[in-house]
Amino acid sequence: MNYFKHHVFFCTNQRDDGAKCCGASGGQAMRDYAKRKIKALDMNGVGKCRINSAGCMDRCSEGPLLVVYPEEVWYTFVDEQDIDEIIEEHLQHGRIVERLQLK
């Protein structure tokens, strides 16, 4: 058994040179939102879900982004509604949100 059922990494990298990055595209704010939402739904902790920050994932032009493990599914997002959909569909029901999935 995995320690966490799902481990979600949000890129929160901020570039100093002004280049496109997840940090400047709302990565940190959406990570914070997801962490609060997961806690409110009692989905956090051992055997459940863990939300983490990550440095650059080297897909800056596709960001902001997150990746869900162990499935290795990459997502982009725009707002809280997209995060809600990923939480509900993928993390709660095991269904990939194809419209937000990066390949």
pLDDT digits (tens, 9 = 90+) for 10-19: 999 988 887 8
What CATH fold (topology level) applies to the domain 6-63+78-102? Glutaredoxin (3.40.30)
Q: Quick count: other Cβ atoms within 10 Å of Cβ 49?
A: 21
Contacts of 42 (CB under 8 A, 6+ apart): none
Structural domain spans, the chain: 6-63+78-102
- Segment 61-100, tens digit of pLDDT: 898 999 999 999 999 999 999 999 999 999 999 999 999 9
Digit-coded pLDDT (tens) for 47-64:
999 999 999 999 988 989
Q: Strand 6-11 to strand 65-69: parallel, antiparallel, or no bridges (unpaired)? A: antiparallel
Q: Specify the residue for token string 């939480």.
A: 87
Can you list the positions of beta strands (E) in 46-103? 49-54, 65-69, 73-76, 101-102
Q: Which residue, 37, 60, 63, is CA-closest to 49?
A: 37
Taking residues 29-52, report their average pLDDT: 97
